[in-house]
Structure 1
Amino acid sequence: MIFNTLVVISIVVIHWYLWKRLVHNTTHPGLPRRIGTAIVIALGISMPMTLFGVRDGYFPWLYWPGYIWVAVMFYLLVTLTIVETPRWIRWAITRRSKTRTQEAPEKPDEERRLLLARGTAIFAGLTAASITGYGVKTAAGPPRINRFHMPMTKLPRRMDGIRLAVVSDIHIGPTTGAEHARRVTQVINSVNADIVCVVGDLVDGTVAQIGPFVAPLAGIQSRKGTYFVTGNHEYYTDYTEWIDEVAEFGMRPLRNERVELDGLDLAGVNDLDGEMYGDPADFALALGNRDMTRPVVLMAHQPVAAEEAAPYGVDLQVSGHTHGGQMVPFNLLVRLSQPVVSGFGNVDGVPVFVTNGAGSWGPPVRVGAPPQVTVIELRSA
């Protein structure tokens, strides 16, 4: 309740600021200002309907326009902040100087102020719309393949070059249709992986709602199996249904357990958020009492899980969850909660690779973080 209240207050403050900069400061009192005010109010009202209603299955018709506005609004704020920061600094310096000399501040020329405000509004609007359009095109395209070579001292020479296809955050939902799952399946199959690791946030909806949309994933091919661990979004519906469903599609759920694949151990833990739903991650169960001379790859949805995996001598953790930030510069905020946002990093001695994810959540927009299927080639070192 407190969180939702803070979100609503933030929406009001942001839209007041946008109204001030884009409507009030750019128009004279009259019909144009009233029209602009009505538009901003309507967009503001649509925000909680989108963020709360669409997520819970209400207002499905609002998904595209609502979330596109979320992205445009975000980039309007970013652009206005960048453009206006020098003006704020200049204003502060001028005000301080005038105060010291006790001179009255100069009254700005009204028409000049109006012209500058309109120029800023046009620039911010075009910039936000262009970035959002690019982001929509990127998010709607097929996942890109990125490759990474991981040396592993314990890996037997007979397994040198084994390939893991790592995919996360596919986010199949009521608005994606089955085509999204087909695109992801085609990209995974194109890399001829030995092992496919699906590291959570596969779906946004119940089996009854979107089961047919997920069905194309049954076509995923791999030499040594396809494995799945839960992400936080699986728990927003009936996660037990999805565990049974993905097994029907040929994926093996790793529920705080590990399997031996020739000279390699593959382990998986439930998502950290599963604890709130009575389905916690158990690192001791997945990683304890094993032969420490064998290398182990851990599938864990959130990169921060490496902090709990560190005592168990994990040779590589593969994760998702962050979407690579999804929309730059949002990646800077993601870094506050996750130690690695995208690509390779080290967390408490655990090598961690975080894939950007193959889908999107919230705005169907990706800027600076294209959708990915990651191919990790393990090399005997």
Structure 2
Amino acid sequence: MPIFLFLLLSGLVLIYINVSAVAPGRKGKLVALGVLVAIFAGMSLRGTLAGSIVVSFFSVWLCQALLFYIPWGIFRLVRRSVIRRPMRANTVLVASRVLLAATVAVTLSLIAYGVPHNARYVLHETTVELPATVAGDSAAPANFTAVFFSDVHVDPLFDRAKLERMIADVDSIKPDYLLFGGDLADVPTGTLDEWGYDSLFKKLTAGAKVAAVAINGNHEGMQEHPGSDPGAWMRKVGFVFLDDATECIGPVCFTGRTDFQVARRRDMERRPLAELSPTDSSRPWILLDHQPKGIEDGYSGRLPDFAFSGHTHNGQFFPGNFVIHLMWRLVYGEGVLDGVPWLVSAGVDCWGPPVRVGTDADMWVVHFIVK
């Protein structure tokens, strides 16, 4: 988090310096200050439609602006070190205006493509083989199907039609389990009720034949405050909410981890995985952990048979969909982390701008087959 804040502040300083150059003297500084004020005002009004629109635009624009301004800044520094005199003021003025216009044009293009693209999601289907040693009671069904989704991020810009399609898909698939990987909403739970999402999520969870299981994500930590309890809300709409807890439901045992940032905001440590390992070793053990960081260091007990995560959004839009691979061992899709077969969803929606470029929103249908 300190590194992220340092990078953010450094980026904002770079933005201020370059935007202030679009007009001479005090006028340029006022323009740059206005941009920064708009950014922080949008963040503080994130729960409103106007605030969400402002945050969406500037989230995309900041990324594109830095792609232009960083090389421009490097060029100016190198030129100054070689020529040893400043660039002409009029040249800087014209270049700054061209760069600003270019960043805005690129941003609007990404939004024009990315918003309708994000309105759809891809329904992936895969089969996972489990070892026969976890077949469980022969009287219980050995094979089962789960629908996994993550990162809904309900906010004023969220498209209700997407949730209605999810309800229809789950009703059609009729999975044994519906699994949610965290980051439900960016508004308080009372607002979710006001907007009617309680009834919609009750319809969604009712589509699971055995149980709907959920965990928290880092954004749940932001919504944990007096008058807003995301965990209680998820239980109210029909989820079995696991907060650093394990519960065996039907032929499967599930462990739901408390998100790292939620634990930090609560000023607590996550429970050791050894304390959460199910005592019934005959049933498959499925792990839900919002951030795909793998198994904790030093753990030497039984490994989960499969794990699910979200959080990464697969980078969401350019250039994030390239940079994200520098940050995570497993960014998206099926893989293995610390010896555990793992699946990372790109999320059924987005945080901030509802923009997808180079990535797809998704939901996963996983058929578990005991061999």
Question: Could you say whether these structures have the same fold, taking a TM-score greater than 0.5 normalized by the shorter chain as the test?
Answer: yes
| 2:135 counterpart of 1:151 | no
Cα pair distance change 1:18/1:160, threshold 3 Å: farther
CA contact (8 A) 1:297 1:316 kept: yes
User: The residue matched to 1:373 in structure 2 has which SS?
Assistant: strand
Partner of 1:303: helix, strand, or coil? coil
Contact 2:217 2:290 in 1 (8 A): yes
Distance across 2 between alignment mates of 1:166 and 1:310: 27
Counterparts in 2 of 1:125-204, with a 5 A limit?
125-139=104-118, 141-154=119-132, 156=135, 162-176=144-158, 178-179=160-161, 181-204=163-186
How far 1:340 sits from its partner (Å)? 1.7
Cα separation, 2, equivalents of 1:106 and 1:12: 23
- 1:197-230, Cα deviation, whole Å (9 max, x unpaired): 0111112232222224421011120122111111
**Shift, 1:336, TM fit:** 5.1
Match of 1:48 among 40, 45, 49: 40
Check 1:149–1:329 CA distance in 2 against 1; reply closer, same or farther (3 A cut).
farther
More helix by share: 1
1:114 and 1:17 map into 2 onto residues whose CA distance is: 10
Specify whether residues 110 and 376 from structure 1 end up closer, same or farther in structure 2 by C-alpha distance, changes over 3 A only: same
For structure 2, which runs of at least 5 residues remain unmatched after alignment? none
Partner Cα separation in structure 2 for residue 304 and residue 151 of structure 1: 23
- Structure 2 CA distance for partners of 1:129 and 1:378, relative to 1, 3 Å: same
Between the aligned partners of 2:90 and 2:229, the Cα distance in structure 1 is 63
Structure 2: distance between partners of 1:16 and 1:116: 13
Alpha-carbon distance in structure 1 between the residues aligned to 2:157 and 2:104: 27
Residue by residue over 1:9-28, the C-alpha shift from the partner in whole angstroms, topping out at 9 and shown as x without a partner, is: 531322322454xx36xxxx
Q: Aligned residue pairs: how many? A: 356
| TM-score, length basis structure 2 | 0.79
Aligned-partner Cα distance in 1 for 2:104–2:187? 34
Partner of 1:254: 242
Instruction: Name structure 1 gaps, 5 residues minimum.
Output: none
State how far apart, in whole Å, the 1-side matches of 2:341 and 2:7 are: 37
Q: What TM-score, normalized to structure 1?
A: 0.77
SS in 1 for 2:293: helix
Q: In 1, Cα distance between the equivalents of 2:150 and 2:50?
A: 27
> Is contact 1:143-1:358 (8 Å) kept?
yes
Distance 1:74 1:180 in 2: 27
Partner deviation per Cα, 1:79-129 (whole Å, 9 max, x = no partner): 5657x69x949x96x999xx7xxxx89999999998887766655443332
Asked whether the equivalents of residues 144 and 373 of structure 1 are also in contact (C-alpha less than 8 Å), the reply is yes
CA distance in structure 1 between the aligned counterparts of 2:157 and 2:84, rounded to whole angstroms: 55
1:274 and 2:258 aligned: no
- SS of 2:229's equivalent in the other structure is helix
Residue matched to 1:230: 216
Q: Deviations over 1:238-283 (max 9, x none)?
A: 3783322222212111231121432x33322222333331665432
Tell me: CA distance 1:306–1:249, structure 2 relative to 1, closer, same or farther (3 Å).
same
Q: Measured at CA, do residues 268 and 120 of structure 1 come closer, stay the same or move farther in structure 2, by a change above 3 Å?
A: closer
1:294 corresponds to which of 248, 260, 283? 283
Note closer, same or farther for the CA distance 1:80–1:95 as it changes in structure 2 (3 Å cut): closer
Shift, 1:54, TM fit = 2.7
Provide the rounded CA distance (Å) in 2 between the counterparts of 1:358 and 1:150.
21
1:5 shift after superposition: 7.9
Mapped to 2, the partners of 1:279 and 1:183 lie a distance apart of 38
Q: What's 1:362 paired with?
A: 352
Counterpart among 45, 56, 59 of residue 70 in structure 1? 59
| Alpha-carbon distance in 2 for matches of 1:372, 1:236 | 24
Sequence identity percentage? 21
Structure possessing the higher radius of gyration over alpha carbons? 1
Cα distance in structure 2, aligned partners of 1:271 and 1:111: 51
Q: 2:233 aligns with which of 245, 255, 276?
A: 245
Q: 2:39·2:54 contact (CA, 8 Å) conserved in 1?
A: no
